[in-house]
């Protein structure tokens, strides 16, 4: 079993707003048929059923909130928010679940299936899995203290998946800044959107292999911070330390020096902060510019 350690990256209110904004931008094409009231007549209790199911799942395993947000992002980044990531391997489908960025790390499939079964009890064959996954990510964020947003609904489920696209398009923890910017630009997102979306790492768990090189071999990372993380990784590897489950389970909307140290886990941070660029003011201006636009952007979210 891979050694893992919990991590917590605190975010500002501006970053929370930016995170919400970026989730709404993950698809670049407007679809006029999407509406926040899509199921108002066909399945009026759908959203409450999904919310209850998701909350119960997170209450049973707090880490699941982070997993659902990540699952939604990995779905949207490949072929759009179409639930293609939920399709399992068949003779005609190369499942995205077995792509390198998803294999043994993407999780929450069973939670979505459970929510789907609850909805099917009241409205069989009405609500798409794509919508359920989108609602689940939104409700997971809200349940752990993060932002919520009005969802445009009416997505259709994909009947195909692409492991090839998942392998080639999903961001990797080894990507440098330029490579990540390029990946996000291909989805209509700019560098500031990318940094804002890093706020999704405000809670959850990471395998030590994803940042081991950062804390042992990188001269730009804060020495004290790296030292404490090396000790934690060594203790976890020797099984003399159990990662706590009662921490790192809320989206904290405060920004402080702890945030900037924790962010050094990411390779791209060398280009964002360690070169002297200060993002604090950037996020403030980002919030001022984009918060009023969120309502309009929701109309173009798929």
Q: Regarding beta strands 4-6 and 205-207, do their DSSP bridges make them parallel or antiparallel, or are they unpaired?
A: antiparallel
Q: Is 245 annotated to bind ligand?
A: no
Reported as a pLDDT band with limits 50, 70 and 90, residue 249 is very low
Res 2: pLDDT: 44
Which one is catalytic: 6, 72, 74, 290?
74
* pLDDT above 50 for 81: yes
80: left (phi over 0), alpha (psi -120 to 50) or beta: left
Reported as a pLDDT band with limits 50, 70 and 90, residue 14 is very low
Res 150: pLDDT: 87
* pLDDT above 50 for 239: no
pLDDT tens digits for range 34-55? 899 999 999 999 999 999 999 9
Q: Is 78 annotated to bind ligand?
A: yes
* pLDDT above 90 for 250: no
Rounded to whole angstroms, the Cα distance separating 85 from 263 reads 28
Rounded to whole angstroms, the Cα distance separating 188 from 26 reads 8
Q: Is 231 annotated to bind ligand?
A: no
Fold of the domain built from segment(s) 31-170: Peroxidase; domain 1 (1.10.520)
Rounded to whole angstroms, the Cα distance separating 98 from 167 reads 9
User: Which residue has tokens 């140290």?
Assistant: 261
Reported as a pLDDT band with limits 50, 70 and 90, residue 22 is low
DSSP line for 102-137: TTTT---HHHHHHHHHHHHHHSTTTS-HHHHHHHHH
53 with 45: CB under 8 angstroms? no
Res 236: pLDDT: 52
Whether the CA torsion 45, 50, 51, 57 is positive or negative: it is positive
Query: Could you confirm whether 72 is annotated as catalytic?
Result: no
Does 201 or 245 have the greater pLDDT score? 201
């Amino acid at each position: 079993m891979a050694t893992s350690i919990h991590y917590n990256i605190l975010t500002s209110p501006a970053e929370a707003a930016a995170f919400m904004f970026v989730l709404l931008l993950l698809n670049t094409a407007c679809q006029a048929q999407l509406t926040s009231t899509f199921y108002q007549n066909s399945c009026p209790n759908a959203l409450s059923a999904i919310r209850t199911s998701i909350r119960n799942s997170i209450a049973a395993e707090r880490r699941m909130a982070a997993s659902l947000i990540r699952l939604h992002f990995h779905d949207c980044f490949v072929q759009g928010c179409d639930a293609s990531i939920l399709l399992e391997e068949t003779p005609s489908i190369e499942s995205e679940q077995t792509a390198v960025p998803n294999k043994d790390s993407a999780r929450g499939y069973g939670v979505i299936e459970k929510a789907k079964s609850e909805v099917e009890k009241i409205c069989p064959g009405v609500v798409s899995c794509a919508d359920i996954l989108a609602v689940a990510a939104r409700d997971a964020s809200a349940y752990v203290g993060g932002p919520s947003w009005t969802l445009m609904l009416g997505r259709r489920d994909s009947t195909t998946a692409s492991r090839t696209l998942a392998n080639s398009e999903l961001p990797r923890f080894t990507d440098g800044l330029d490579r990540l910017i390029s990946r996000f630009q291909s989805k209509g997102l700019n560098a500031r959107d990318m940094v804002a979306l890093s706020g999704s790492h405000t809670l959850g768990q990471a395998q030590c292999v994803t940042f081991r090189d950062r804390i042992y071999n990188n001269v730009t990372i804060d020495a004290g911070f790296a030292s404490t993380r090396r000790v934690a990784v060594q203790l976890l590897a020797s099984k003399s330390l159990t990662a706590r489950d009662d921490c790192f389970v809320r989206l904290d909307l405060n920004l402080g020096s702890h945030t900037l140290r924790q962010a050094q886990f990411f390779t791209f941070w060398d280009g964002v902060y360690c070169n002297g660029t200060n993002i604090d003011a950037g996020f403030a201006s980002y919030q001022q510019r984009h918060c009023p636009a969120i309502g309009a952007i929701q109309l173009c979210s798929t």
